[in-house]
């Protein structure tokens, strides 16, 4: 029972990080129909800011703020420099553009910083743990869960009650008509990228706080997972992205915890098999996006 509760907390913490990343992908996709594979590099950039801040003794709270600010600004720049000119191009063109942006940034990280993994100095309290009702819980897990809840709450409030959030949802449903209302295409797209950068920054802080290191390809794996989560949840659907992120987190952690030892090496294929099975049952994802042409089951 003990072990089960521990693993469930781990699953929520990991799933939450996937959810934040998947949400970042979904916000951009829902408006621009772009799958931004350079999302991982936003994470990596925030990771390097944490590394440099650690080296220079910047207080942790400030370095977290700087890291998140960096990925947010980088996301907006990415849109301005790379994606604006291909905005009306085909999905394939935009996808290739995002791969190019990702590659350029990875090479820059390798050549300007280091191709090897760098340690990130973290405050001690993150590696400590507390005992709650007889359960030992790592502080970093608590931080991850709290940060996820706060971010999801913030995003829900923003999308439901803020004029600009509602405008983003309107643009996601019908971009041309949203423009007729006076909703500026550039503003709403830049806003979507800023949000995705913000989410990637928070996810990066959580990711780094579990591993205490950063390398040029750090963002690749989690964003690939987040992409799977976004599809599992229903591509373009924000609630779906959250659901998919948590679902994937639970699948991964429970398989790692409860699969017999001799089957552990098949963990990933089994996990992806479950995802495929879920998609066979629900081809449009767990919570499909109403705006997209639905796949007929």
Partner 1 sequence: MRPIRQEEIQVASALLTATSLKVRYGAVEAVRGIDFEIRAGEIVAFLGANGAGKSSTLNALVGLVALASGKVVFDGHEITNGKPETLVSAGLTLSPEGRRIFPTLSVADNLRMGAYSVVSKQKVAEAWERVFELFPILYERRNQLSGTLSGGQQQMLAVGRALMSGPRLLLLDEPSLGLAPKIVEQIFELIVRLREHEVTMAIVEQNVAMCLEVADRGYVMASGRIVFQGNASELKSTTFLQDAYLGGN
Binding positions for partner 1, rule: CB under 8 A: 163, 166-167, 169-170, 173-174, 176-185, 290-291
The token pair that represents 51 in the structure block: 């590394």
Smallest distance from partner 1 to CB 172, Å: 9
With respect to partner 1, which residue has the nearer C-beta, 126 or 188?
Answer: 188
CB 222 → partner 1: shortest distance, Å?
29
Strand partners, 129: 138
SS3 289: coil
**CA-CA-CA-CA torsion for 116, 214, 13, 246, nearest 10 degrees?**
-70
Buried/exposed 119-132: b ≥16 CB within 10 Å, e otherwise: ebebeeebeeeeee
Q: Report the nearest approach of partner 1 to the CB of residue 71 (Å).
A: 28
Q: Tokens for 67?
A: 């890291």
Nearest residue (CB) to partner 1, 60 versus 175 = 175
Between 180 and 281, CB nearer to partner 1:
180
CB of 180 to partner 1, least distance (A): 5
The conformational region for residue 234 under phi > 0 = left, psi -120 to 50 = alpha, else beta, is: left
DSSP H helices, the chain, are: 2-32, 39-55, 60-78, 91-112, 139-161, 163-173, 175-180, 185-211, 220-233, 238-258, 267-281
Q: Which is nearer to partner 1, 122 or 241 (CB)?
A: 241
Q: What gap in Å lies between CA 168 and CA 160, rounded to an integer? A: 10
| 176 versus 281: smaller Cβ distance to partner 1 | 176
The CB-of-173 to partner 1 minimum distance in angstroms stands at 5
Q: How far is the CB of 286 from partner 1 (least distance, A)?
A: 16
Nearer to partner 1, 94 or 167 (CB): 167
Measure the CA–CA gap between 75 and 190, rounded to whole angstroms.
8
Instruction: Give the Cα separation of 243 and 228 in Å (integer).
Output: 12
Residue 189's CB: how many other CB atoms inside 10 A? 23
Q: Which is nearer to partner 1, 67 or 159 (CB)?
A: 159
Q: How far apart are the C-alpha atoms of 123 and 139, rounded to whole Å?
A: 11
Nearest approach, Cβ of residue 288 and partner 1 (Å): 11
């Amino acid at each position: 029972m003990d072990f089960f509760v521990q693993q469930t907390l781990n699953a929520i913490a990991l799933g939450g990080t996937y959810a934040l990343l998947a949400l970042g992908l979904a916000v951009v996709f829902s408006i621009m129909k772009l799958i931004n594979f350079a999302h991982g590099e936003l994470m990596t950039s925030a990771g390097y800011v944490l590394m440099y801040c650690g080296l220079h003794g910047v207080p942790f709270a400030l370095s977290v703020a700087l890291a998140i600010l960096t990925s947010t600004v980088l996301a907006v720049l990415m849109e301005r420099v790379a994606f604006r000119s291909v905005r009306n191009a085909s999905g394939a063109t935009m996808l290739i553009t995002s791969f190019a942006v990702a590659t350029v940034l990875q090479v820059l990280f390798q050549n300007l910083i280091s191709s090897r993994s760098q340690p990130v100095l973290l405050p001690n309290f993150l590696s400590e743990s507390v005992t709650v009702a007889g359960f030992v819980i790592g502080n970093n897990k608590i931080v991850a869960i709290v940060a996820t809840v706060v971010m999801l709450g913030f995003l829900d409030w923003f999308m439901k009650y803020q004029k600009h959030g509602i405008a983003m949802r309107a643009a996601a449903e019908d971009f041309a008509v949203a423009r007729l209302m006076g909703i500026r295409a550039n503003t709403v797209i830049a806003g979507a990228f800023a949000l995705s950068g913000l989410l990637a920054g928070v996810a990066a802080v959580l990711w780094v706080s579990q591993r205490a290191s950063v390398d040029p390809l750090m963002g690749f794996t989690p964003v690939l997972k987040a992409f799977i989560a976004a599809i599992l949840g229903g591509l373009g659907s924000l609630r779906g992205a959250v659901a998919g992120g948590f679902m994937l987190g639970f699948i991964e952690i429970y398989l790692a915890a409860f699969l017999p030892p001799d089957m552990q090496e098949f963990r990933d294929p089994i996990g992806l098999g479950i995802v495929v099975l879920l998609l066979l049952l629900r081809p449009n994802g767990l919570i499909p996006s109403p705006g997209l042409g639905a796949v007929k089951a």
